[in-house]
Structures are given as structure tokens and as C-alpha cells.
Amino acid sequence: MSLFADLAFALKARCPVCREGRLFKPWSVDPVDECSVCHARLGETDVGDGASVFLIFLLGATIVPLALVVDHFFSPPLWVHAVLWGSVMLGLIIVILPAVKSYIILLEYRHRPKR
């Protein structure tokens, strides 16, 4: 598989084995215990904090410079910064975290030793 195909798959958050069943529980980023289609045991995955740490570095390296540029050119009050960048960060986390976690689970299933 190519990197772009893997990233497109990660945005769908589907089972890495059959690519059809749901990967996460509703309104959560916790993997389901078992795929409803192929019955793969997805609850055994160990993603840990990898996706969260990746997002901290990625968003911190992009949002902080943007906030500094906005502050330099427009000088908004502190409460505008809090509302604006808090909303931007929360929105990006809601969109990106499931995709990153799904990609890590896909890599784990692809590269783990066969049992």
C-alpha cells in the first residue's frame, strides 16, 4: 500500500484487517473490542499516547507561531486569543486525533508478528 492510500484509509477509521467494520466506539477514540464484520480483536491494540504526543508537537509547532503573527499584526485582547486559538486547537484535535490513532493502529496490525 502507498502512503496516500494509508492516509485516506486512516481518515475513514475502519478495521485494519477487513477495512469495513468500525474501528472506534461511538463518540470516542477507544477501539471497539471486536470488529463487527471480520471479528478481529481490535481491543488488544496498544496505541498508548503516541497519537496525542504527535498532535501536541504538530499543533504546537504550527499554532503558536500563528498566534504570535496574529498578535504582532493585530494586537487583539488576550480573551480573543484564548477563544480563537482554543477553538482552533479543539477543532483540529477533534478532526485529526481519530485519523492519527487509526493510522497507528493500521501500522501496528501491518507490522506486528504473525501469531
In this prediction the pTM is 0.83
Q: Domains in the chain: how many in total?
A: 1
What is the residue range of 100's domain? 3-111
| Residue 114 banded pLDDT, cuts 50, 70, 90 | low
Q: Which residue pairs, CB below 8 angstroms and at least 24 apart, start in 13-22?
A: 13/98, 13/99, 13/102, 14/102, 15/40, 15/42, 16/40, 16/42, 16/105, 16/106, 16/108, 16/109, 16/110, 17/109
Binned at pLDDT 50, 70 and 90, residue 111 comes out as confident
Average pLDDT of the segment spanning 37-64: 90
Inform me whether the pLDDT recorded for 112 exceeds 90: no
